[in-house]
Chain A
Amino acid sequence: MSTFAELLLNGLSLGSVYALVALGFVVIFRATEVVNFAHASLLLAGGYVTATLHDDIGFWPALLAGIAGAALVGAAVEFLVMRRYRGSDQSVLAIVTIGVDILLTTELTRRIGTDVLTPGDPWGDAVLTVGPVSIAHTRIAAFVTASLLITVFLLAFRFTSWGVAMRAAAESPETAALMGVRLGRVSLGAWAVAGGLAAVAALFLTVFPTPGLERATSLAALKAFPAAILGGLDSTTGALVGGLLVGVTESLATGYQSDLTFLGRGLGDLAPYVVMVAILLIRPAGLFGTKELARV
């Protein structure tokens, strides 16, 4: 039972990190109708900046630099590339982001090489033990930070003029533009925010118990895609639920894989995708996604 509780807690923590990434993904989609396949490389960029700078300027400034860096990369992608394609079709935009992803990932993996970069976080490998359940400090920090950020973000989305502008742009770009919403600024903001969230997620994807930032980190970041999709691409609630679901599934599958040896090793990496396929079979638009209505 204590194993189960531990796995569940770890899964929730991991899931909240995925939810951060998925949230950025959904925000970009809502604001600009772009399915951003370059999201994993944004995350890698943020993680890379944090991991290379923390030795020189300390952890917290490095983290801030990482967030700013990833936000900047996101904004640059929007400003230099995606803006040129505004108004193109959704699948064309998706393919453009794949091109961007090839570029960014190649550059970052070339820089990282075969190294494993440590994020330099203050939590180290400390573990908190309450009764029979023990959980790493990093996991607690991840959960707290992610919940905090998500709450702040959702509040801002609901109550600030920035959030209202973004929701208006998502609802109907033309009307929003006529009402004085600057679409360019909205989409720039969406990309920057998504980059920043991804950078925070990058930190928590590379701290203990994972070895650190390496090439394979972008594969871990890819799990935000099933999280976003199974929740529904255009739903922020969906991103949260999807993230948690993916995190818990992964954690449980990894934890119990010794009981499931007939399915092979590394089950945890696979489980989120299987869950996604199963959910899409029943609800093709995701759990909370708006069903597409067509007027003919």
Chain B
Amino acid sequence: MSEVLTRDETDSASRPARRRPLRLPAARTATGAACAVLLLALPFYVDRFWLQAGLFAMAAAIGAIGLNLLTGATGQLSMGHAFFLAVGAYGYCVFAADGGDGPAGLGLPAWLAAVLAVAVSGIAGGLFSPIAGRLRGAYLGIATLALIFIGQHVLFNARDLTGGFNGRDVPPLSLFGLTFDDRELVVANVPFGSAEKLWYVGLLLLLGCGLFARGVLRGRPGRAMNAIRDHRIAAGVIGVPVARYRAGVFVLSSMYAGLAGVLLALVFQRTVPDYFGITLSLDYLAMIVIGGLGSVAGAVAGAAFVSLLPQLLTRYSDALPLVSDPGTGGIAPGEAARYLYGAAVVAVVLFLPGGLVRLAARLRVKPRPGVRVTPRPGATEGEER
């Protein structure tokens, strides 16, 4: 199972890396099709644990794509990504819940609630734009820390909306009369619970988000964003409205985070404020650094790595040395995973600038001079000072 997922991620990782016309279209299409079939067939063969792990990875991938647009492609460090995930997750709950008992709710149709939640995340990002448009680098990074603390404060205190410390239940998604809850629906002798059904929603959303971000990155806005990252003043001189772009990317990235939040909430089926702390923001930064800054595939690869690693370690903790069950005094799987990806962040920047995507590209083709597969993560704002 794990090997299946790895194969999938390396393939999707290699896709946007190409810059020239397809070199092996037939082989590429074939691999792509095989992976697509595999991903579509998984819910029929794999148990719930892995489906949930996969869904977390998908949600994380959507969020990481958003952060990569902001931090990787535009060079704006954000530590407040978890805040926008929270806005998405809780926004969905507030719009979709019927508000009968417990926290407030508007009782809107679930799909509309999801759309509105994403919109609200975007608005939250927009409200921060006076800061996001003007600050850069470390200043923005620390200013966005404020969002985390403001978010935590609101989540713990606005009990009517968020349920306070204990969080609130997430109403299931329903679409075209199909409800994505645990009421079983049997498809081809396989019972379809919420994880199985959501799997397809997650795939679809991830595909859409990935394609959209790729379009943004490859088109005119992407060039402008990279220009801002590489040389802000030069970009301004060419005619890129720097502040507007920075604010705009911030809004877009918060909408991605909002969508990731909605999907996470749907998978968790309950949202609690503790989850949306600073650790989560750091996890997302780790994802894009490990996967590769500035590319969609990098975000997906990094998200898969960071979010599947703890699950893998948990599942196989008995068989692994040094890892023991939580509470027994040894290194718990979650901690072991954090050690690994903390070290991975440090090592990737040192040995593999460009992240996992670069590694995949390097394995696939022999490096040719003059072909830069992924943008160098570093080239940001050092020159201006």
Q: Do A and B come from one complex?
A: yes
Inter-subunit contact B131/A280 (CB<8 Å) = yes
Inter-subunit contact B75/A95 (CB<8 Å) = no
Known: A85-B350, A89-B381. A102 touches B331 (CB 8 A): no
CB neighbours of A107 from chain B (8 A): 339
Flag whether B237 is at the interface (Cβ < 8 A). yes
CB neighbours of A274 from chain B (8 A): 146, 150
Contact of A226 among B77, B145, B150, B237 (CB under 8 A): B145
Known: A89-B379, A89-B382, A277-B131. A99 touches B137 (CB 8 A): no
Inter-subunit contact B135/A280 (CB<8 Å) = yes
Contact of A99 among B77, B342, B380 (CB under 8 A): B342
Contact pattern, A 257-277, Cβ under 8 Å of B = 1, otherwise 0: 000000111110110011011
CB neighbours of A286 from chain B (8 A): 139
Inter-subunit contact B143/A276 (CB<8 Å) = yes
Inter-subunit contact B75/A226 (CB<8 Å) = no
7 A–B contact pairs at CB < 8 A?
A: A90-B382, A95-B289, A98-B282, A264-B158, A269-B149, A270-B153, A284-B134
A interface size (C-beta, 8 A): 48
Contact of B384 among A103, A264, A292 (CB under 8 A): A292
Inter-subunit contact B285/A229 (CB<8 Å) = no
Closest 8 CB pairs of A and B: A264-B157, A99-B345, A102-B342, A273-B146, A35-B138, A103-B342, A99-B346, A89-B378
Q: A103-B338, A266-B156 are in contact. List 20 more A-B contacts (CB 8 A).
A: A35-B141, A85-B349, A90-B138, A90-B381, A91-B380, A95-B289, A98-B286, A99-B289, A99-B342, A106-B335, A110-B331, A110-B335, A219-B278, A233-B138, A264-B157, A265-B157, A270-B153, A276-B146, A284-B139, A285-B139
- Size category, B interface: 35 or more
Inter-subunit contact A102/B153 (CB<8 Å) = no
Inter-subunit contact B384/A294 (CB<8 Å) = yes
Residues of B within 8 A of A (CB): 75, 77, 130-131, 134-135, 137-139, 141-143, 145-146, 149-150, 153-154, 156-158, 233-234, 237, 278, 282, 285-286, 289, 331-332, 335, 338-339, 341-346, 349-350, 377-382, 384-385
Inter-subunit contact B341/A102 (CB<8 Å) = yes
CB neighbours of A273 from chain B (8 A): 145-146, 149-150
CB neighbours of A9 from chain B (8 A): none
Report the Cα distance A56→B186, complex, angstroms.
65
Flag whether A6 is at the interface (Cβ < 8 A). no
Report the Cα distance A90→B289, complex, angstroms.
15
Contact pattern, A 276-289, Cβ under 8 Å of B = 1, otherwise 0: 11001100111000
CB neighbours of A294 from chain B (8 A): 233, 384
Inter-subunit contact B143/A277 (CB<8 Å) = yes
Inter-subunit contact A90/B157 (CB<8 Å) = no
Report the Cα distance A209→B346, complex, angstroms.
37
Flag whether A175 is at the interface (Cβ < 8 A). no
Q: Which residue of A lies closest to B351 (CB)?
A: A84
Report the Cα distance A199→B157, complex, angstroms.
33
Contact residues, A85-126 vs B (CB, 8 A): 85, 88-92, 94-96, 98-103, 106-107, 110
Inter-subunit contact A90/B380 (CB<8 Å) = yes
CB neighbours of B335 from chain A (8 A): 106, 110
Known: A35-B138, A89-B381. A103 touches B343 (CB 8 A): yes
**Inter-chain contact count A-B, CB under 8 Å?**
141
Inter-subunit contact A90/B137 (CB<8 Å) = yes
Contact pattern, A 145-156, Cβ under 8 Å of B = 1, otherwise 0: 000000000000
Most buried by A among B138, B143, B150, B237: B138
Distance in Å: Cβ of B307 to nearest Cβ of chain A: 15
Report the Cα distance A101→B145, complex, angstroms.
15
Q: Which residue of A lies closest to B233 (CB)?
A: A294
Known: A90-B138, A281-B130, A284-B139. A264 touches B381 (CB 8 A): no
CB neighbours of A267 from chain B (8 A): 153
Most buried by B among A99, A266, A292: A99
CB neighbours of A296 from chain B (8 A): 233-234, 237
Residues of A within 8 A of B (CB): 35, 37, 81, 84-85, 88-92, 94-96, 98-103, 106-107, 110, 219, 222, 225-226, 228-229, 233, 263-267, 269-270, 273-274, 276-277, 280-281, 284-286, 292, 294, 296
Distance in Å: Cβ of B247 to nearest Cβ of chain A: 14
Report the Cα distance A280→B136, complex, angstroms.
11
Inter-subunit contact A280/B285 (CB<8 Å) = no
CB neighbours of A92 from chain B (8 A): 349, 377-378, 380
Report the Cα distance A71→B381, complex, angstroms.
30
Known: A91-B381, A95-B285, A99-B289. A284 touches B135 (CB 8 A): yes
Report the Cα distance A296→B237, complex, angstroms.
10
Inter-subunit contact B131/A281 (CB<8 Å) = yes
Inter-subunit contact B345/A269 (CB<8 Å) = no
CB neighbours of A90 from chain B (8 A): 137-138, 380-382
CB neighbours of B150 from chain A (8 A): 270, 273-274
Inter-subunit contact B381/A84 (CB<8 Å) = no
CB neighbours of B286 from chain A (8 A): 98-99, 102
Inter-subunit contact A84/B137 (CB<8 Å) = no
Inter-subunit contact A94/B138 (CB<8 Å) = yes
Report the Cα distance A267→B154, complex, angstroms.
10
Inter-subunit contact B349/A95 (CB<8 Å) = yes
Known: A229-B143, A281-B131. A100 touches B342 (CB 8 A): yes
CB neighbours of B233 from chain A (8 A): 294, 296
Report the Cα distance A283→B8, complex, angstroms.
47
Q: Which residue of A lies closest to B336 (CB)?
A: A106
Report the Cα distance A229→B142, complex, angstroms.
7
Contact of A84 among B77, B131, B142, B350 (CB under 8 A): B350
Q: Which residue of B lies closest to A107 (CB)?
A: B339
Inter-subunit contact A35/B339 (CB<8 Å) = no
Report the Cα distance A127→B158, complex, angstroms.
36
Report the Cα distance A281→B128, complex, angstroms.
10
Report the Cα distance A110→B339, complex, angstroms.
11
Report the Cα distance A217→B75, complex, angstroms.
30
Distance in Å: Cβ of A110 to nearest Cβ of chain B: 5
Inter-subunit contact B345/A266 (CB<8 Å) = no
